Structure 1
């Protein structure tokens, strides 16, 4: 039952979200069956866990849809401080997996604070930009205070280390500030200043340097640094135009590492082929269109900025994941939103979609007020 003082939800956005989540569960089951059976003796291990997060995500999505957008504006300072606290705690008490300390493990489930940081930073920047108004065009009074808080979060995430999330947050923050009307010269200067740091971070660790070399020529060292990308390209090539058929991937049988997480798109391409991938892209682009449209239609600056930030976050992660799997971008360990196995990422995406649905409801209420006959 919809609230009496709010408009109807964007049912197309809701439908597209459910389609993506359902498709993700299907592909996780397909991609994870070999490793699930080998490690845990059950084909259903990973999809069962992801399904629990999907149910929790639905509850969050519908709850967030009903929360007034103004609530997030008031909560912004609290959220950014909680983000810093969680990022600090995970460095001390977090569980180390594959050389990175990014996760809390509670009752057998992983929680990744850097995912919460994405949400907190988007809300914080949106609220601060709305509060500063024209002062955003001043570097010292507008940009610098926000950059200090965002930079502190990025530094904590880099210590985990999680280079992919740092890059995503830098791009999201830059997009939000650019949309806000900040001086282009300030942003260009900041971007140029970030390039040397980006280069240093890319080559300062041996495994990152190997990733860069694999991106340039994965077949030069196809048995080591380029192995994952070569197996991914092999999967996409095997899929061809029509695909090998759902559940009939060969590469998922211990050839392709992380087949159900970061490289699940390779299994999608192998099993469903060009036709299936085209349909998947269509649903995703429709989702992003509705997300950006909800933000664009908002008459409230904070809601518009918040919606743009959320839509930009999902779009950037989508492009970075697909780019890495196809060899168009370096591998950064970014999950495919709504699709890759990972509870924290799924909860974040669905909760943020709930906010987008709430913004769309407010838009529809305003439009209904202008056109009572509708």
Structure 2
């Protein structure tokens, strides 16, 4: 092994590849019926997901080979570019609308979900801000509010799509990063109160959001109407028992559970692989999040503030999104259109998740072996 060879974090690689591989298998299983019915090709969604996985791995390799300083320099421009794409989506005839939401930007044979890009760009932007203003947030309320202005514009544009789930993930991640970056506890608490109030207001003024909340509280009150998706997900969990009904043997994917291969893939995991398989997914995500936070802490101790905040942000973001998706599937949270990272069908989500993991590995490389990481870039 040459001197410039860099050792990757094996725990992150194992957890990521396990989730990615299991996700491909479960997408194939969960989508086979609807794919055959809608396209005549039983493996249509699996093949597309496999192609996206390959693209994601290729993009991850490029990211691993790029210095963190490059991402730090580009962070503000990336976020502004993402905001511009959000504006494009809302222009009639440009963005693509699916199920009443204009969230996709068509680029030839694929549709890009810009919200996934914004999640990554927001983490990079806040990490850059915290690097430039390190040690200044504790005594200045304006310093804490400053980075939220551009993100507020992005949140408003996401709300117009509408995409409430992505707003929750982005803002929760940003608030956690600001707190870890030195924001005072009273300022942090005030921001949480403001965002909670805005969230409650948005739920109250939008009838469909209020209906989702009501159906979440008692899905069995209308099991064939507003509570249909949640009740079918709960039935899937009930059928799974300890060891599941067997891979490919799900009944709920036979047009009972809507979005079985996307937002509700975890329910099919629980049905076919049982509590054992569902718990294994949870453990893999816990390993991934634990290693992300550990890498962030190591980078912080070595004085690499940008890398530390990137690692913290990615760990918090993936953790929150996984918890929300799993919570929705289990009936613990109201329904949100959020995918399960690395597993649910969706090209944008899968590629961006791979890029995020690559950034984690890059932070770890520059923290543990800065000379070897630099040598790898020069090769």
TM-score, normalization by structure 2: 0.94
Name the residue aligned to 1:245.
246
CA distance in 2 between partners of 1:143 and 1:236 (Å): 42
Deviations 1:325-355 (A, max 9, x none): 1011111111100011000000110001001
CA distance in 1 between partners of 2:198 and 2:364 (Å): 39
Give the CA deviation at 1:139. Answer: 4.1
Distance 1:9 1:290, change over 3 A: same
Q: Does 1:208 align with 2:209?
A: yes
Given candidates 348, 362, 367, the residue that maps to 1:344 is: 348
SS, match of residue 147 in structure 2: helix
CA distance in 2 between partners of 1:315 and 1:170 (Å): 14
Give the CA deviation at 1:320. Answer: 0.2
Query: Is the Cα–Cα contact under 8 Å of residues 36 and 43 in structure 1 kept in the other structure?
Result: yes
Residue-pair matches, total: 368
Query: Is the Cα–Cα contact under 8 Å of residues 2 and 8 in structure 1 kept in the other structure?
Result: no
Q: Which moved more, 1:236-245 or 1:191-200?
A: 191-200
Matches within 5 A, 1:1-374: 4=4, 7-92=6-91, 93-298=94-299, 299=302, 300-365=304-369
CA distance in 2 between partners of 1:280 and 1:184 (Å): 33
CA distance in 2 between partners of 1:281 and 1:168 (Å): 19
Give the CA deviation at 1:147. Answer: 1.2
Q: Which moved more, 1:127-136 or 1:275-284?
A: 275-284
Query: Is the Cα–Cα contact under 8 Å of residues 214 and 225 in structure 1 kept in the other structure?
Result: yes
Q: Which moved more, 1:97-106 or 1:7-16?
A: 7-16
CA distance in 1 between partners of 2:191 and 2:370 (Å): 38
CA distance in 1 between partners of 2:3 and 2:116 (Å): 30
Name the residue aligned to 1:372.
none
Q: Which moved more, 1:28-37 or 1:59-68?
A: 59-68
Give the CA deviation at 1:10. Answer: 1.4
Query: Is the Cα–Cα contact under 8 Å of residues 7 and 362 in structure 1 kept in the other structure?
Result: no
CA distance in 1 between partners of 2:53 and 2:211 (Å): 35
Distance 1:138 1:91, change over 3 A: farther
Give the CA deviation at 1:11. Answer: 2.7
Deviations 1:295-337 (A, max 9, x none): 2211201100011001111000000000001011111111100
CA distance in 1 between partners of 2:42 and 2:279 (Å): 28
Give the CA deviation at 1:367. Answer: 11
SS, match of residue 137 in structure 1: coil
Give the CA deviation at 1:138. Answer: 4.2
Distance 1:355 1:3, change over 3 A: farther
Give the CA deviation at 1:81. Answer: 1.0
Q: Which runs of 5+ in 1 are unaligned?
A: 370-374
Query: Is the Cα–Cα contact under 8 Å of residues 253 and 260 in structure 2 kept in the other structure?
Result: yes
CA distance in 2 between partners of 1:169 and 1:61 (Å): 22
Give the CA deviation at 1:3. Answer: 8.1
Name the residue aligned to 2:377.
none
TM-score, normalization by structure 1: 0.95
Deviations 1:131-161 (A, max 9, x none): 0122222445411221111111111111111
SS, match of residue 134 in structure 1: coil
Give the CA deviation at 1:189. Answer: 1.2
Give the CA deviation at 1:292. Answer: 1.8
